[in-house]
Amino acid sequence: MPDGYGVYGVLDDDGETLLCHECGVRAAALHRHASFVHAMTAEQYRTAHGLRRTQPLVSTAVRNKQRAAALRRMERNPAGWARLEAARDPWAAVDARTPEELRGNAASHAGRLAHPGPAAKPLKARVCVRCGTTWTPPTPAQRRRRTCDGEECARMQGPYRRPLAADEIAALRDASADPDERMRLAVALTESGASQRAIAAAAGMDRVRLRKAVWQARNPVPGVSGSGHVAAGDRAAARRGPAAEDDPAGRSHG
C-alpha cells in the first residue's frame, strides 16, 4: 500500500541510503533525518509507517561499518568479551520480567510517544532580518535561518535574482576596457533587477566592489564616482581643507 513517498510497512534500502516516507529524501541515518527535519522520534516514525519496533533506521552500509567496528573492538580485547559472554544469561532476564514490569514498559513507551523530547518541542519565533516579519521556522532543520522567505521577503529579495541576458553579458564584456563605464553598467544592471553574482562573473569583477558601488549609487557622496573613485581635484581640495579653497595659491589663513 502506498504510504507517502514509499510503501507502508516497507523500508526502501538501496544499500547506501534509506528512502524517507515523509519527504522522499534518501538518508544513510533515517532516524537522525526524521528527528531534525520532521520532528519525529524513531519510534514515532516506525509507528506512522508500519515498521516493526526492531527495524533499524540506518542503511546496510552503516550497519556493516558498525559491525566491523564491533569486531575490531572484540579483537582488541578478546578476554573481556569472553567474560561478557560467559556472564550473559538471556533466559534469566526473560524469567525476571514480571507482568507488572511489562505493563510499566508499555506505559513508558506510550509516554515517550506522547512527549518525544527536544526534537518535537515548539520552535521559538524570531524576526526576519530582511523584512522584519516575526516568523517561526517550520522544521528544526531551519532553526538557524535568519530570513522567512515570505511574500514581502521574496519581494525585497527578488530584484537581485534575475539572470543576465546574452546582450547584457556582451555589453559588460565590451566595456571591460573602461573600468568606470563597466562599473556604471554593472550598477545599472543591478538596479534593473539582475543578479549581482551573474554580473560579477560576466564582468570579471569583485562582488564586494560591485556591492560597494551599488550602495554608493543609492547613497551618493559628493566627489565620489559610481565606481568608487574620488576625483583628483576633490582629493586635493580635501587635503587643503575648506579655508584653502578660497585661496588659489593655497596660502594659510591662520
Sequential pLDDT tens for the chain (254 residues) = 777 788 888 888 888 999 998 888 888 999 888 888 888 888 888 888 888 888 899 999 999 999 999 899 888 888 888 888 888 888 887 777 777 766 666 666 666 655 555 545 567 788 876 667 787 876 666 666 777 766 656 555 544 456 788 888 888 888 888 888 888 888 888 877 777 788 888 888 887 888 888 788 777 766 555 444 444 444 454 445 444 444 444 444 44
Using CA atoms, how far apart are residues 40 and 204, in angstroms rounded to an integer? 47
Pairing status of strand 18-19 against strand 26-27: antiparallel
> Is 136 strand, coil or helix?
coil
Neighbours of 156 (CB within 10 A): 15
pLDDT value at residue 249: 47
C-alpha cell at 114: 506522547
C-alpha cell at 227: 565606481
Using CA atoms, how far apart are residues 228 and 195, in angstroms rounded to an integer? 20
Using CA atoms, how far apart are residues 124 and 220, in angstroms rounded to an integer? 40
Using CA atoms, how far apart are residues 119 and 40, in angstroms rounded to an integer? 7
pLDDT value at residue 61: 92
Q: If residue 196 lies in a helix (H) or strand (E), which one and from where to where? A: helix 196-203
Length of the chain: 254
Spatial contact of 30 and 49, defined as CB atoms under 8 Å apart: no
Spatial contact of 227 and 184, defined as CB atoms under 8 Å apart: yes
DSSP-derived secondary structure letter, 15 = S
pLDDT value at residue 110: 63
C-alpha cell at 31: 532516524
52: left (phi over 0), alpha (psi -120 to 50) or beta: beta
Residue 96's contacts (CB-CB under 8 Å, 6 or more residues apart) are: none
Helix axes 179-191, 196-203, angle to 10 degrees: 160
pLDDT value at residue 252: 44
C-alpha cell at 125: 519565533
Using CA atoms, how far apart are residues 95 and 43, in angstroms rounded to an integer? 26
